[in-house]
Structure formats: C-alpha cells, structure tokens
C-alpha cells in the first residue's frame, strides 16, 4: 500500500494500527499480535498493543509514524508485552529495543511491575504510562500465602483487564507525554536509575 498522503491517514482506528515501513503503509490488526506467541498471555499482549496505539497517536501528529528510526524502552519485561511491541514496530529484530525491570519486581506480576514505555522516532519521544489499578492480589502470588483460589482469581482478573483496556478510550488507559528530545538506540531515559535492572530477561506473564 502506498504511503502517499500519510499525513492524512489515521494511525489508530479500532483494533488497527497504521505505520510506515520502508515507504509502504502497513495496516496491522490486534489478532496478529495475539498470534506472535504460544500460550495465553492475554493481558500482556493487550496492554502492550494498546500502549503502541497510544504511541502511534502521539508520534503521528504531523505525519504518520515510521518504523525506520523507532527505538523502544520498556519498563515491563513480559513476553506478551514484548511480542506486541515487536509486532507493531519491529524494533527487537533490528536491535532498537531495550528492556529494564524495576527493583523488587522479581520478574513476577506484582505492584512493583512498571507499565511504562518510551518510544522515540529519532525526533521526539513519547512517554506512555498505564493508569493502573493493580495489584494487591498479585503481591501474594509465589509466597506461602498463595492459594489455588488466588491463582484462579488472578488468571480471571487478567482476562477481565484485557477486556477493560479495549473498552476504555486510550486517554483513559494511558497518560502520554511527548518530549522534544529523542532517545538514541541504547540510551536510557533519565527515569531509569539504579533502582532498575538493565536488559532484563522476559518474565512469564
């Protein structure tokens, strides 16, 4: 599909994301992100994809955003989130992706897990942060206090959250700040300090 008139193209429409890749217009569907990995990572994939929709809107104010110069830093190391990001931006395969994890997170779902993303296009940086209502239950998981009912309820909660993040508008799900300063590949945002671990391996999420 030609990229002519990209300034007039909506970057987000329903479950779609539109983005340029080597001069061609790609129209991506959420179903494609769900097919990127095995397993049932509903919440991670949903929140990662919706975060990229928020980034698409922020970085397409003058013209449609383009994969070429994108660089993404994620504060959430989960594989569902990472698969959604790379499906949309292709940054992982091109070495333009950086994953960090907050101190005390322990690579598990809990209240210390960060739902923050920095998406830079070489000119600006979109800072995307989830407006979240988590995770008292998740803080008990993996401890002696964990019960089978906790695990069952937590899995149901992730399905419900996946639905909720699609029902609510992007502006209700995320706060978005657009900075004039770009991030260079390999560079970390100022917010990433010694309370984060660098280059975290994906968590099971």
| % of the chain beyond a pLDDT of 70 | 69
Asked whether residue 102 is domain-assigned, the answer is yes
Q: What is the mean pLDDT of residues 67-90?
A: 93
> What confidence score (pLDDT) does residue 202 get?
39
* Tens digits of residue pLDDT in 9-65: 999 999 999 999 999 999 999 999 888 755 655 778 888 999 999 999 999 999 999
What pLDDT does residue 135 have?
45
Query: What is the average per-residue pLDDT within 112-133?
Result: 88
- Rounded percentage of the chain residues whose pLDDT exceeds 90: 48
Taking each helix axis from N to C end, the angle separating 42-58 and 79-89, rounded to the nearest 10 degrees, works out to: 40
| CA pair distance 112, 103, nearest whole angstrom | 8
Let me know: does 160 contact 72? Beta carbons within 8 Å. Answer: no
| Tokens coding 168 | 């609510």
Range(s) of the domain holding residue 140: 6-197
What is the per-residue pLDDT across 95-120, written as a single tens digit (0 to 9) for each? 999 998 877 666 556 556 778 999 99
Query: What radius of gyration, in Å, describes the C-alpha atoms of the chain?
Result: 17
In a domain, 41, yes or no: yes
202 inside domain:
no
- Predicted TM-score (pTM) of this structure: 0.82
Considering the domain boundaries, does residue 205 fall inside one?
Answer: no
On whether residue 27 sits in a domain, the answer given is yes
Task: Report if residue 17 sits inside a domain.
Answer: yes
Specify if 193 maps to a domain: yes
- Number of domains present in the structure of the chain: 1
Contact in structure between 92 and 115 (CB atoms under 8 Å)? no
- Indicate which CATH number applies to the domain containing 17: 3.30.1330.130
Is the pLDDT confidence value at 138 over 70?
A: no
């Amino acid at each position: 599909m030609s990229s002519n008139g990209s300034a007039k193209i909506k970057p987000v429409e329903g479950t779609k994301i539109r983005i340029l890749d080597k001069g061609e217009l790609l129209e991506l569907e959420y179903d494609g992100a769900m097919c990127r990995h095995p397993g049932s990572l509903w919440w991670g994939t949903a929140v990662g994809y919706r975060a990229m929709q928020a980034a698409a809107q922020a970085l397409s104010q003058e013209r449609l955003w383009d994969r070429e110069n994108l660089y993404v830093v994620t504060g959430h190391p989960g594989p569902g989130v990472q698969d959604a990001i790379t499906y949309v931006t292709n940054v992982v395969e091109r070495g333009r992706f950086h994953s960090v994890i907050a101190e005390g997170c322990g690579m598990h779902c809990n209240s210390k897990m960060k739902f923050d993303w920095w998406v830079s296009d070489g000119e600006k940086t979109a800072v995307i942060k989830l407006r979240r209502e988590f995770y008292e239950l998740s803080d008990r998981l993996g401890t002696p206090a964990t019960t089978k009912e906790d695990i069952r309820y937590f899995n149901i909660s992730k399905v419900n959250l996946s639905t909720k993040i699609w029902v609510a508008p992007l502006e209700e799900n995320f706060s978005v700040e657009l900075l004039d300063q770009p991030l260079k590949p390999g560079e970390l945002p100022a917010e990433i300090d010694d309370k984060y671990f660098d280059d975290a391996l994906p968590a099971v999420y």
